[in-house]
Amino acid sequence: QVQLVESGGGLVQAGGSLRVSCVTSGRTFGRYAMGWFRQAPGKERVFVAAIARSGGRTYYADSVKGRFTISRDDAKNTVYLQMHSLKPEDTAVYYCAASGGSSSPIITENYNYWGQGTQVTVSS
């Protein structure tokens, strides 16, 4: 069983920056691809970014490409999402997730474990 705990959310003005983090339990962090998803009120949870095992390939939704950066520190069992040039439409609850399989990391259903989420609010 893997537990994930997000932190770092908050309120920021449009154009600002924020970094959210996700710490995972267990000794097998390096075996998991990690992803960030977000869910705005009244909307479905959608893919934001993902990073393959061992800090390999990264993936981004078109809406965040060039503004967000995902990274991982396997020694700290932590995945990060650095967000720049934030927009009001980035407002959502951000969830991190871990995938133990080799299927597409942009698909919600391919993730086995989820955190409880952290709120990011961008004011205009």
Residue 30 pLDDT: 85
Residue 56 pLDDT: 78
Residue 92 pLDDT: 98
Three-class DSSP labels, the chain: CCCEEEECCEEEECCCCEEEEEEECCCCHHHCEEEEEEECCCCCCEEEEEECHHHCCEEECCCCCCCEEEEEEHHHCEEEEEECCCCHHHCEEEEEEEECCCCCCCCHHHCCEECCCEEEEEEC
Residue 55 pLDDT: 65
pLDDT profile of the chain (124 residues), mean per 10: 93 98 89 95 96 87 98 94 98 96 86 96 97
Residue 28 pLDDT: 85
